[in-house]
Amino acid sequence: MNKKTIKFSIIIIIFSLIILTSCSKITEINASNNLSNISCDDKDNCTEDFYDKKSNLCMHKTKENCCNNCELYESKVSIVDYGCEGSCYKSGTLNINGTSDILIRIKNDGNKDTGITAYYKCFKVNAGVIVFGGYGFIAKDYFIETGSNEILLKANSTATYKINLKGNPTASTEISCKIKVIEDSKEQSKNIYLLFRQ
């Protein structure tokens, strides 16, 4: 090693020591003179924030069973649209005159996956709950994605619940169907109206 390299190394070491010493003195002065002004708030509702004199550091203790920004981790399920395919058309009411699929789009706008179940009940004025078989149809309902009436609906995604009607109407009649979507203890429903045309 030559003399220039040794001198340069010594200068760097001395300079570093001076900076470190001055920084620690400033911290000690600030900590000892302004204890009432020290703020350890990390803006996290799920921590208890405090100043530890011994370590001269801010401490952040996590609170138990705390959810920070919980609204970001919720599911938000809704029935967003419906329509039909096959021997049918939509004009507010679903007009059905033969084999058709009633399609109901269900969306999860949240950031959490959630399990849901869908089912339907149909009614006729002055007749109560009806069964499609009494009107010339065989009905089967399921999510297209799973083949059953249950699905794990991923965050920010949609699924299609389908009521498949096979056959031809035996009478022209109006029917109201209530589509229900159940998620945990929450339930959503939407009424759709069918007009069977013979």
pLDDT per position as a tens digit, 60-76: 887 776 666 555 568 88
Domain membership flag for residue 21: no
The verdict on 99 and 157 lying in the same domain is: yes
Q: Which residues contact 122 (CB under 8 A, 6 or more apart)?
A: 129, 130, 132, 175, 176, 177, 178, 194
The verdict on 86 and 184 lying in the same domain is: yes
| pLDDT winner (highest mean) among 50-54, 98-102, 186-190 | 98-102
The verdict on 129 and 86 lying in the same domain is: yes
The verdict on 136 and 179 lying in the same domain is: yes
Domain membership flag for residue 171: yes
The verdict on 100 and 151 lying in the same domain is: yes
pLDDT at 5 over 70: no
Domain range holding 47?
A: 37-68
Q: SS3 breakdown of the chain: % helix, strand, coil, rounded to 5?
A: 20, 50, 30
- Mapped onto helix, strand or coil, the DSSP state of residue 154 is coil
- Structural domain total, the chain: 2
The verdict on 49 and 139 lying in the same domain is: no
Do 157 and 110 meet the contact criterion of CB atoms below 8 Å apart? no
Q: Measured between alpha carbons, how far is 129 from 176 in angstroms, rounded to an integer?
A: 10
The verdict on 108 and 87 lying in the same domain is: yes
The pLDDT value given to residue 27: 34
Domain membership flag for residue 62: yes
Domain membership flag for residue 145: yes
pLDDT at 30 over 50: no
In this prediction, residue 189 has a pLDDT band, given cuts at 50, 70 and 90, of: very high
Per-residue pLDDT, averaged over 127-149, amounts to 94
Domain membership flag for residue 121: yes
Domain membership flag for residue 133: yes
Q: CA 169, 137, 135 angle in degrees (round to 5)?
A: 50
Please report which residue ranges of the chain form alpha helices under DSSP H.
3-33
The verdict on 61 and 112 lying in the same domain is: no
- Mapped onto helix, strand or coil, the DSSP state of residue 159 is strand
Q: Of 42-51, 144-153, 176-185, where does mean pLDDT reach its minimum? A: 42-51
Per-residue pLDDT, averaged over 81-107, amounts to 95
The verdict on 46 and 112 lying in the same domain is: no
In this prediction, residue 146 has a pLDDT band, given cuts at 50, 70 and 90, of: very high
The verdict on 64 and 84 lying in the same domain is: no
Domain membership flag for residue 2: no
The verdict on 180 and 147 lying in the same domain is: yes
Which residue type does 10 have?
Answer: I
What is the CATH number for 189? 2.60.40.10
The verdict on 63 and 81 lying in the same domain is: no
Domain membership flag for residue 23: no
